[in-house]
Structure 1
Amino acid sequence: MIIVWSRTAVADLEEVRRYIADDNPKAAQETALTILEAVEQLAAFPMSGRAGRVPNTRELVVTGTPFVIPYTVRGKKIEIIAVLHGARQWPMT
């Protein structure tokens, strides 16, 4: 499976990294790596995320972090929609 990150998801991940880095650069790097590694697992297990709150989406809960990754699976393509803090409202209204 091919994993494609939306521009929003890329910007979200960078924002998470920057926000955490303000207090702890090492933790920021570790968190970003944890998110990236979790997303990479979707290539082998695309249906491993829970059913999403938005129709036709799934949500990957990133273990050890407060982050949720909404994504879609279409054919052989997985699209990462966003990187959301679990407290953030989804879908966006």
Structure 2
Amino acid sequence: MLPVKWGHEALDDLVEIIDYIEQYNPIAAASLHRHIVAAAEGLSTIPYGFRPGRVPGTREIVVHPNYLVVYRVGDTAVDVLRVLHARQEYP
């Protein structure tokens, strides 16, 4: 099992998403936060279980119909790079 490490950009993305949703529905925001974190942390056991990313060297997991986690599998860790809304232009 590889440890999961959250990058600064991914953490900033997550805070921004949750803060926005929390304005309208705090319960949904808390639920989404738990769901995204659990999915990302689960990458430690199956890092290659999800589709290759749009950026070479990355992979993506759809954690909710509207959100995806972009990550990279390294030699010593799974690096969470971004948390994005599905409609966001990326890269």
Report the counterpart of residue 51 of structure 2 in structure 1: 50
CA distance in 1, matches of 2:80, 2:89: 17
- TM-score, normalised relative to structure 1: 0.92
Report the counterpart of residue 89 of structure 1 in structure 2: 89
CA distance in 2, matches of 1:37, 1:30: 11
CA distance in 2, matches of 1:5, 1:27: 22
Identify which range, 14-23 or 64-73, moves more after superposition: 64-73
CA distance in 2, matches of 1:45, 1:60: 11
User: How many pairs were matched up?
Assistant: 90
Coordinate RMSD, CA, aligned: 0.9
Report the counterpart of residue 79 of structure 1 in structure 2: 79
Instruction: Tell me the SS of whatever aligns to 2:27.
Output: helix
CA-CA distance at 1:89 after TM superposition: 1.0
CA distance in 1, matches of 2:7, 2:38: 17
Displacement over 3 Å in runs of 4+: none
CA-CA distance at 1:41 after TM superposition: 1.1
CA-CA distance at 1:65 after TM superposition: 3.8
Greater per-residue helix proportion: 2
Instruction: Tell me the SS of whatever aligns to 1:51.
Output: coil
Report the counterpart of residue 12 of structure 1 in structure 2: 13
CA displacement 1:60-79 (0-9 Å, x = unmatched):
111x4410111000113110
Identical counterparts, % of pairs: 36
- TM-score, normalised relative to structure 2: 0.94
Structure 1, gaps ≥5 residues long: none
Contact 1:58 1:72 (8 Å CA) reproduced: yes
